[in-house]
């Protein structure tokens, strides 16, 4: 008969998936910003990056906690989760991606020329 995989494998796959979605989310937001700047203002990029980071990081922590819970013995104490600061990785990741984004914008649009008078 068919045996279902252990819960920890399912939680591991979900934890990895949330991490991959996090890694793809900020470059995707910046790509939309580059292609359609009128539809994606900067305030929306920042809010979306931090909100997605908060959601995905909390989901990842939840799945990691489920993996830990599945492998705990009675002697292991549970660890504490700090869910409030989960938005910080998204803001830092966005800041890191702004460097290549700025370089692409300069290459794409060229440097502004100063008028000689």
Q: Where are the domains of the chain?
A: 7-109
Predicted TM-score (pTM) above 0.75: no
Sequence-distant (6+) residues with CB within 8 A of 80 are: none
Using one digit for the tens of pLDDT, what is the confidence trace for 16-66?
999 999 999 999 999 999 888 899 999 999 999 999 998 998 888 888 888
Please spell the DSSP secondary structure of 5-73, one letter per residue.
PPHHHHHHHHHHHHHHHHHHHHHHHHHHHHH-TTTS-HHHHHHHHHHHHHHHHHHHHHHHHHHHHHH--
Sequence-distant (6+) residues with CB within 8 A of 105 are: 34
Angle at 44 between CA 104 and CA 49, to 5 degrees: 75
Which of 56-60, 82-86, 94-98 is predicted with the least confidence, judged by mean pLDDT? 82-86
């Amino acid at each position: 008969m068919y045996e279902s995989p252990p819960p920890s494998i399912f939680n591991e796959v979900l934890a990895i998936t949330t991490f991959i979605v996090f890694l793809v989310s900020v470059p995707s937001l910046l790509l939309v910003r580059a292609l359609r700047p009128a539809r994606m203002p900067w305030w929306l990029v920042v809010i979306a990056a931090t909100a997605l980071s908060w959601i995905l990081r909390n989901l990842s922590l939840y799945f990691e906690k489920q993996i830990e819970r599945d492998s705990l013995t009675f002697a292991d104490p549970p660890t504490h989760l700090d869910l409030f600061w989960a938005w910080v990785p998204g803001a830092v990741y966005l800041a890191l991606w702004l460097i290549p984004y700025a370089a692409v914008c300069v290459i794409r649009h060229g440097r502004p020329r100063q008028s000689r008078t």
